[in-house]
Structure formats: C-alpha cells, structure tokens
Structure 1
C-alpha cells in the first residue's frame, strides 16, 4: 500500500552523490528547496553548496519550483554534486598536498610496447578486474550516433597553482563546439573529491551549452609495467593508464575503438589505446608569459578530430 501511495501522490527519486545512491519518497507538491533539505540530512551537504543536475531541464532550479511542474518520471534519477560540511575546510586547507597527478609529469611511454602491454596476462587481468569493480555513475545519458570524447582535466583543461584554478583559454568554446558531435567524459588521475571541487568551480557541471556524460577518477585506473628500466637498480618503469576498454565494455551499444578520441597531456595514459590518443601540450598558467595566450583548444576545435 505504501508503494501505491507514492506512485499516486508522489515520486520516488534516486539521488546520486559521491558514488552512492539515495532513495527519496516525496510528494508531488514538494519543492526543490524541500528536496535540498532532505539531501542535506542524508549527505551533510548544505543546500547552498548543492548543484542538482538532471532533476529538471534547467541546471539551477529555484527552490520554490514544485516537483509536479517538472513532469518527472517515476522513479526519477538525478545527480547532486557538492562537498559535505566535514570536507569543505579539509579540502581547502589540504588542496596543495593533494596529488593533481600521480608521479607522471615528465615521462612518456614507448608506443612500440603497445602489443606486449595489451597481451600481457597480468595487464589483462588488471583490466578485467577494473571493469568489474568500477561503477560509472551516468550524469547525462549517452546519445545515439555520437562519438566519445574523453578529456583529461589537470594540464589539459585547467591548471591549479598556489590555491588558484586557471581555466585553459577557449575551454568552454571548445566544449560547446564539440558537444553536437561528441558525448563528453572527463577522466582525471585525481581523487573524486578534488575533481568534484574543480568541476563545480569551473561551472563545467552547470553549463547549458554542453553536458558531461560522466566522470572518472583515479579509481578507474591501474598500473602497468614498461619494458624500460630506470635508475641504477635497473627496475622496470611502472605507470598508470586510462584504459578506454573500461568504457567500451560498460557502453558497448554506444562507444568503441572506432568512435573514441582521448585527449591528454600525458601520452602514457594512452598506453593501452594508442590509436585513440591525441596528445595536447601541457597547460600551465605562469606569470612569466602573461601576454602569451594558449591556443591549443582553439586549434583542436578547428581540427577534424
């Protein structure tokens, strides 16, 4: 009887936040503001810090908007991004110590190693384990007949320095231009906590000119071993990779090696997918060249990728 009552008089909402799902049984006359308060009780994210995506057609709904006016599905899933009370000051005070990338700024892999890497039994097992364990939370559903564009974040779309975030020139223009042709995914070699903060700060989550399909962090990466040796001890190089096959196996009806492009400033992230990799120059905002504007994304926008 309780389930029937919800069906007739309200909605079952499924909120996705920080890799978890929260079920909300709400009346149709509830407002967005009331939903925010319910989310605060469940997640400790204050309403003023909540970004609700997918509850309605608009990204930033006013608090007095009723759920009934949004013509939601029942059940209806949406995503909420924002930092919990206990994390806000922690992130800000420790942000310099958080690894933007993991020991991979200077070294790139040898493409000739690709066949050995992909055939390596240990690498294949790591790939299958990661595919099995990674849960991709979709923000905006894949679109039919669209290609896939996987974008790195740090040093590709932004640069973080001295507690400030610098957006790469032409970032939004580029994302807006490619969106009609590509579903966009952000894959960063950082923690979800840091990634969420930066994407909110840059307004990438809330743009209405383009929409992010989903986001992956370092938990979707694994380590492979190169044939190269380093140092006097002669140990083999080890580095992490972004294996696109994870996405292809999760969304086989939409994406494959034939329609995917991966843009990154680190070519070793392409180690298992060199044919899809497109290396972009490392973006760094420095005071040494204030009059020199980076045009990499502008050039990429005009190219036929």
Structure 2
C-alpha cells in the first residue's frame, strides 16, 4: 500500500509553493528534494528557518512525522538560485558618489576588473557562513552596522565598556528593531565582534535582537591605482545569502569609513566617527537623530533612490514611494 502524502506550504521569494511528501516515511531531505523540483533552489542552498527539532535545525535524515507537523504547515525558506547569486552580486553602476568623497577620479575607480570582484563576491556567498543569532522577520528592512567608531570608541582607555559606548546605543537599536533586522559587520575578527557586543550589552538586550555577525573574512579587496588595495564590505554577500529577503531596495549600511560601501554607494551612510568618548559622550546625538531617520525611511518600498549623504535634510513625503 502506498504511503499517504502530506502537503506543506513553502514560502520563498515572496511566493508560496505547495509541496507533497510521504507522511510516514518522508524525511527532511525528501522535503528538500521536493522543494528543489518546485523552486529550482538546490538542496545544499536551502535553509528551512522554522523547521526545528529540539530547538535545533532539523537534520536531513529526520523523518517528518517526528516533527508532528500539521498538513498545510507553512515553512519559510531562504536559498539562492545559482543564476541569481551572480545577479545579486552585481556591483552598482553609480560609483561616482563615493569617488568624490575619497578624492578619487573616475579613471582611478573604473573597476575594470569587475568580473574579478564579482567572482570574489560569489565565492563569499558560496563559502562564508554568517554567524546567525536570530531569524529574518517577514516585511522588515535590513540595517547593517559597523562597530569601531560607529557604535564604540575602541581606542580610548576606560574602566568599563559603557564609558566607550556611543550615547543612545540601546535606544537606537530598540527603535531600529521595530522596522529593521539588524546585522553587525566589522572589519575585525569574529571573536572581537562577539566580545564587544557582549561588553556593550548588545547581545543580551531584551528590547531587540541582532540577526547576525559578519567579520573581515566576508570582505573583499579591490584595487585602486592611487590608493592600492581597498578592503570593502559588499552588501551583495548578504543579499546572496538571503535571496529574495534583502536587496538594494530595503538595505541601509552605517559605517564611519565611506570606502567600506564603495560597491554599494546608494545603500551606505557615512556616520560621524565616535572618538575621544570622554570628551564627546555628553554631547554626541548621532544615533538619536539617525533613529528618527530610519523611522522616516521605514514606510518606503524602495530606499535605493535616497541620497543618504543628505540624510540630515531628509523629510519624508506624505505618500511613501
């Protein structure tokens, strides 16, 4: 007698797919293979976010009946089509906005080896593992934050981390969390990031959750004749990892170094560096003002047309675009 089937709904890339697997003998791997047939996303690239067993991601060999899922259970998937990884990793054309800020000429930043850079990005998407701390929330935009001099004065001496923490940090993150998933990307080691987030009380705060951490290994190097090699943070690494969830339309990055978003100038906002904490912590209001800016941007369906260099003058229109 043939095994009965159970139907599930898989949500991916703003669409829903009805997937059928054997009720009693079907495994998580069977489900993934069925998903591949419907979506063309390879099994190795699939991440089934809410398919858990004893608090952990369900392993491929686990029988689905063990999970006691009801027919029609909705599964949220992340995963990239092979051809979309390259598309999601394409560097933007309007690099000129950043050229002026770096005192570079168009000839010097022609990015004539763009294919080489795209290959590096594709490699990061394929091999780099973001340290995930929580799960993406449907409908939320993405805020990517640097650490040193953006959230924390890492050069000054102090007895406690709170003395070097940028003013209004937790208020800023709590406010942003209402509309944005929050990712931390530092040009340092993962150990440094974890220690600093623990020191600042970010990783344990109950008012918000951090989506994940990226370290220097997720960055790539590009060559500029006048300045040599520049390490940058291509947001396409994140977009490739979360295909269909985040894109240039709903992502903004804060960093005190503009060259870090050289490949994504339309998504980057250069934040004023927070230095000499002892002298400036009583008067620094950057995060307070930026929290309001993020709230003003939140209703927009597409943020990619906004010039973040003029963020302090931005006033939201009555009808979000």
Please, what TM-score do these two structures have when normalized by structure 1?
A: 0.60
The aligned length equals 198
Q: Does the C-alpha gap of structure 1 residues 292 and 137 become closer, same or farther in structure 2, counting only changes over 3 Å?
A: closer
Where is the strand percentage greater, Structure 1 or Structure 2? 1
**Residue from 269, 277, 291 that aligns with 1:301:** 291
Q: Deviations over 1:46-82 (max 9, x none)?
A: xxxxxxxxxxxxxxxxxxxxxxxxxx9524239xxxx
Q: Deviations over 1:73-117 (max 9, x none)?
A: 524239xxxxxxxxxxxxxxxxxxxxxxxxxxxx94749579833
* Corresponding residue SS for 1:283: coil
Q: Report the Cα distance in structure 2 between the residues aligned to 1:283 and 1:251, rounded to whole angstroms.
A: 31
Long gaps (5+) in structure 2: 1-50, 58-100, 298-321
| Contact kept in structure 1, 2:166 and 2:281, CA below 8 Å | no
Q: Deviations over 1:268-300 (max 9, x none)?
A: 00111000001110001344x357511111111
2:273 maps to 282
Give the superposed CA RMSD.
2.5
1:143 maps to 137
Q: Does the C-alpha gap of structure 1 residues 144 and 293 become closer, same or farther in structure 2, counting only changes over 3 Å?
A: same
Mapping of residues 1-305 of structure 1, within 5 Å: 73-77=52-56, 108=102, 110=104, 112=106, 116-117=110-111, 120-162=114-156, 164=158, 165=161, 166-227=164-225, 229=226, 236-287=227-278, 289=279, 292-303=282-293, 304-305=296-297
Runs of 4+ with deviation above 6 angstroms = none
| Contact kept in structure 2, 1:221 and 1:242, CA below 8 Å | yes
Long gaps (5+) in structure 1: 1-71, 79-106, 230-235
